Chain A
Amino acid sequence: MIHRELLPRALSYNLLATRVGAILETFGPIGLTDRDSKILEEAKSFLESALEGRRATQAMEVTEKALAASDAYGEAIEATAQLLNQGAQVPKEVEGLFRAFIEALDHLLARQPVSKERLGLLRQFFAGLREATLLQVSPNIEEITLSEG
């Protein structure tokens, strides 16, 4: 068997979502630091990877890159489901939603205004990503093994 990941991808996404959440939460008074910009660039990469994962899934590619992108796509779907569960209205095409998020991030990075609604949806999406990925890495507090004759 081959060991694949050092840090599970879900945990890397969780770290990213936590940091993006912190930036969007405190965004405004002090603007973006260099580190914030780097994190928002990573958030963009994640969404681009999710789009790539959607394409690779439809094209049935089996490359290692396709698998990594497919993981991002799966987590992005889970985050979108969290949005819907909270009653958010999102466009019919998931692809359009991810592209709208990328556009919003581009605007933020270029220090251009983003509508309050769009910013709120983006914040909710990354909060959803955080919750979905945390569920995957939560260990059990206790395990019981029982053998009875």
Chain B
Amino acid sequence: MTTAGDARLLPNGERKIQGEYLSALVRHKLPVLDALLEDLDRETSIYGPRLFARALRAVVQAIGRSFDQEVSDLTARRAPDQTLYKLAETYLAVLHEFHAKLIPYVAPTDSSAIPVQILTVLRKLSRMIDPDVSLSLLPDWKYSYQFHGFRNFVASLLRNFTADALAGFPQWFVFISYPRLEAKNALLHTLMVHELGHLKDLIDGMSRAILDRVKIDPAPVTALAKEIGKTQIPRAAKRAGAPPSSEESPAGLTLQDLLGDRILQNVHSRITTIVGNWVKEAVADLIAARLLGPAFFFALAEMSAAIAVMDKHADSHAASRFRLGYILRELEHLRFVSDISLAPIKESLAAWKEELQSKESRPDEPHQEIAYDTLVNNFGLIRNAVETAPGLYTYRVELFNRDIGTIVNNYLCRGIPPIERWDAATGTKRPFNLVSVINAAWVTYLTRIADFYAATGAATAAERVDSLVNFSEVVLKAIEANDILQSWKE
């Protein structure tokens, strides 16, 4: 229902809907949206994005003030009704975007679907990258991990409206989403570090600097645009009733000329988007590989197998065969393949290397093919940017070799959360390295899970499913306790 007052929907043959009517619609929707956001702010759990709900509300209220101001200006200058109509129509489109794209971030979430043990650690890590970050976890029904970053959220939205700047909100709102089904899967949540890698990349401007230097070969782009033009331009000319070629057309610009330009722009824009996306993913992959060592490789391999993207390229992500290939080369560079002391993991990485090399990872789709070549030809820039990134922790094979055996044998295989270790050098107990705990969890899962099943008395298939959930809880407990201990020691 709307409160359109006495505005008529069909006043006469010329104007189908009055601007006044549409304005009333905007004025009705704004307070409804505001009330919805107020409710959502109240319902959001303590782990949820309350600050984001408040930011959204502030923006909606500012949009309302902006609309009133613009309508008042138009009325003062006696603008035609159609002008008011158009303004209201655009504001309604903005409100629709808000409803569809932004409100889902603050939709009520079951707190049990938020792994709070990881949230605390991620928030701490994000603040190390930039202190002005508000990070939230978002369980999603899509089976994927995602990074959603909003920099200068309030200011950049309000730039489009006649509204005063609003203070009191963080520079960054960050959401990391994960499959709802895997809410308690500590092993797959290793992938969240890749998502945090995106934040590090955006703040340090690594991808931006890389893309400034990336060169694309123009020949295949032009050839592809010409190929597409061969079918599209004659078809469009036929539709428009234009002469078949530009030679016969008048001296002025023709639709055929424009279509040729538009096709080249489209081809270039799509390739630029793919290259940009794949460079960002490669940077985040290499950051995660350096931070986490083999654990990240195994997590991405398992996720890729689960959703069958090993050989499937998309504009957003290159196929996992390609990604896992360069991640493994990074691990080789860090001596994880040559110097790792655990034989089953050494053999597993060698087997993966063989598997990844057994098939070409080049895409078939022509835009992606050009993007792929561009990435391969410029990969040195990406590696160098990550290797020289300031303040980026690198997990070493020496730590892996020192910690993993102890954590796997003495703790995880027995169902005990690994929290502290005896440090002979200082004669004190110290928390285990958190990255070693995550790697040990993967090693146990991949090579010794039968021991965990035996320790927990899981004999049947159903009992093993439950036991694996328990294993994940042991790992989450270790992460939580480790974090508390670290905080306490600090």
Which A residues are closer than 8 A to B by beta carbons?
Answer: 1-3, 6-8, 11-12, 14-15, 18-19, 21-22, 25-26, 29-30, 33, 35, 53-54, 56-57, 60-64, 66-67, 70-71, 73-74, 77-78, 80-81, 84-85, 89-94, 97, 130, 134, 137-139
- Contacts A6-B156, A7-B160, A139-B100 given; does A64 touch B208 at CB 8 Å: yes
Query: With A and B bound together, what is the CA distance between A59 and B79 in angstroms?
Result: 43
- A-side interface mostly: helix
Q: Find the A residue at minimum CB distance from B217.
A: A60
Contact between A15 and B94, CB atoms less than 8 A apart: yes
- Contacts A62-B214, A91-B253 given; does A26 touch B83 at CB 8 Å: yes
- Stretch in B119-127, B267-275, B389-397, B417-425 touching the partner: B267-275
Q: Is B218 an interface residue (CB 8 A)?
A: yes
Q: Find the B residue at minimum CB distance from A39.
A: B162
Q: List 25 A-B contacts (CB under 8 A).
A: A1-B144, A2-B147, A6-B102, A7-B94, A18-B87, A19-B87, A22-B87, A30-B77, A35-B73, A53-B265, A57-B269, A60-B217, A64-B276, A70-B268, A74-B262, A74-B269, A77-B258, A80-B258, A84-B253, A84-B255, A90-B252, A92-B257, A137-B96, A137-B97, A138-B93
Query: With A and B bound together, what is the CA distance between A30 and B208 in angstroms?
Result: 45
Complex contacts, A78 vs chain B, CB 8 Å:
262
Contact between A77 and B262, CB atoms less than 8 A apart: yes
- Contacts A21-B83, A77-B265 given; does A84 touch B160 at CB 8 Å: no
Contact between A60 and B216, CB atoms less than 8 A apart: yes
Q: How far in angstroms is the closest Cβ of chain A from B261?
A: 6
Contact between B276 and A62, CB atoms less than 8 A apart: yes
Query: With A and B bound together, what is the CA distance between A15 and B96 in angstroms?
Result: 14
Q: Find the B residue at minimum CB distance from A95.
A: B261
Query: With A and B bound together, what is the CA distance between A131 and B309 in angstroms?
Result: 38
Complex contacts, A21 vs chain B, CB 8 Å:
83, 86
Complex contacts, B251 vs chain A, CB 8 Å:
92
Contact between A25 and B83, CB atoms less than 8 A apart: yes
Q: A61-B272, A62-B276 are known; give 17 further A-B pairs, CB within 8 A.
A: A2-B148, A2-B280, A6-B102, A11-B97, A18-B89, A22-B74, A22-B86, A26-B77, A26-B78, A29-B78, A35-B73, A74-B265, A81-B258, A89-B252, A94-B253, A97-B253, A130-B90
Complex contacts, A8 vs chain B, CB 8 Å:
97
Chain A proximity mask over B210-235: 1 for CB below 8 Å, otherwise 0: 01101011100100000000000000
Query: With A and B bound together, what is the CA distance between A125 and B87 in angstroms?
Result: 17
With beta carbons under 8 angstroms apart, the residue of A60, A74, A90 that contacts B221 is A60
Complex contacts, B74 vs chain A, CB 8 Å:
22, 26
With beta carbons under 8 angstroms apart, the residue of A18, A137, A139 that contacts B86 is A18
Q: Is B198 an interface residue (CB 8 A)?
A: yes
Contact between B252 and A67, CB atoms less than 8 A apart: no
Complex contacts, A139 vs chain B, CB 8 Å:
96, 100
Query: With A and B bound together, what is the CA distance between A54 and B80 in angstroms?
Result: 35
- B-side interface mostly: helix
Q: How far in angstroms is the closest Cβ of chain A from B222?
A: 9
Q: Find the A residue at minimum CB distance from B251.
A: A92
Residue with the highest number of chain A CB atoms closer than 10 Å, among B87, B153, B214, B269: B269
Q: Is B146 an interface residue (CB 8 A)?
A: yes
Contact between B258 and A84, CB atoms less than 8 A apart: yes
Q: How far in angstroms is the closest Cβ of chain B from A10?
A: 9
Contact between A26 and B218, CB atoms less than 8 A apart: no
Contact between B317 and A90, CB atoms less than 8 A apart: no
Query: With A and B bound together, what is the CA distance between A57 and B96 in angstroms?
Result: 32
Contact between B93 and A11, CB atoms less than 8 A apart: yes
- Contacts A25-B79, A63-B211, A139-B100 given; does A130 touch B252 at CB 8 Å: no
**Interface range on chain B (Cβ under 8 Å from partner):** 35 or more
Contact between B261 and A77, CB atoms less than 8 A apart: yes
Chain A proximity mask over B171-205: 1 for CB below 8 Å, otherwise 0: 00000000000000000000000000010000000
Contact between B265 and A73, CB atoms less than 8 A apart: yes
Complex contacts, B87 vs chain A, CB 8 Å:
18-19, 22
- Contacts A6-B153, A53-B265, A74-B266 given; does A62 touch B275 at CB 8 Å: yes
Query: With A and B bound together, what is the CA distance between A2 and B194 in angstroms?
Result: 12
Contact between A1 and B147, CB atoms less than 8 A apart: yes
Complex contacts, B96 vs chain A, CB 8 Å:
137, 139
Query: With A and B bound together, what is the CA distance between A21 and B87 in angstroms?
Result: 10
**Shortest 5 CB-CB distances between A and B: which pairs?**
A3-B148, A26-B77, A60-B218, A70-B269, A60-B216
With beta carbons under 8 angstroms apart, the residue of B147, B271, B317 that contacts A62 is B271
Q: Is B108 an interface residue (CB 8 A)?
A: no
Complex contacts, B61 vs chain A, CB 8 Å:
none
Query: With A and B bound together, what is the CA distance between A6 and B266 in angstroms?
Result: 22
Residue with the highest number of chain A CB atoms closer than 10 Å, among B74, B77, B150, B264: B77
Q: How far in angstroms is the closest Cβ of chain A from B182?
A: 17
Residues from 139 to 160 in B contacting A, C-beta threshold 8 Å = 144, 146-150, 153, 156-157, 160
With beta carbons under 8 angstroms apart, the residue of A3, A33, A73 that contacts B150 is A3
Complex contacts, A3 vs chain B, CB 8 Å:
146-150
Q: Is B338 an interface residue (CB 8 A)?
A: no
Complex contacts, A70 vs chain B, CB 8 Å:
265, 268-269, 272
Q: How far in angstroms is the closest Cβ of chain A from B170?
A: 15
Complex contacts, A56 vs chain B, CB 8 Å:
268
Complex contacts, B208 vs chain A, CB 8 Å:
63-64
Q: Is B254 an interface residue (CB 8 A)?
A: yes
Contact between A7 and B266, CB atoms less than 8 A apart: no
Complex contacts, A12 vs chain B, CB 8 Å:
160
Complex contacts, A62 vs chain B, CB 8 Å:
211, 214, 216, 271-272, 275-276, 374
- Contacts A2-B198, A64-B208, A91-B252 given; does A14 touch B160 at CB 8 Å: no
